[in-house]
Amino acid sequence: MTVLVFKTSVSKNKQVKRLKPLLTQLVEPIGRWNFDLEDCDNILRVETRQCPSSVVRLLEEQGYVCEEL
């Protein structure tokens, strides 16, 4: 399991709720994810076996900026 950290353009809880089923499906069955919207970079942390590009692609397909840190 790897912890990945991303800078995103997700800035509202409403946006997180929209992404929840997609992110959960991506990291299942044992991965976890969370956003830190208090951080100036709107950090997304993901524990997963997926490669970073999978997470970036998922967010970009939904119209968000996502960059691995």
The structural domains of the chain, ordered by start, are 2-68 (3.30.70.100)
Please state whether the peptide bond connecting residue 29 to the residue before it is cis, i.e. omega within 30 degrees of 0. Answer: yes
With cut-offs at 50, 70 and 90, classify the pLDDT of residue 29: confident
The partner residues of 68 in beta bridges, in order of sequence, read: 6
- Is pLDDT at 41 greater than 90 in this prediction? yes
Higher pLDDT, 1 or 35: 35
Say how many C-beta atoms besides its own lie within 10 A of residue 12's C-beta.
11
Q: Tell me how far apart the alpha carbons of residues 40 and 48 are, in angstroms, rounded to a whole number.
A: 24
Cβ-contact 58, 48 below 8 angstroms: no
What pTM was estimated for this model as a whole?
0.94
End-to-end Cα, the chain, rounded Å:
17
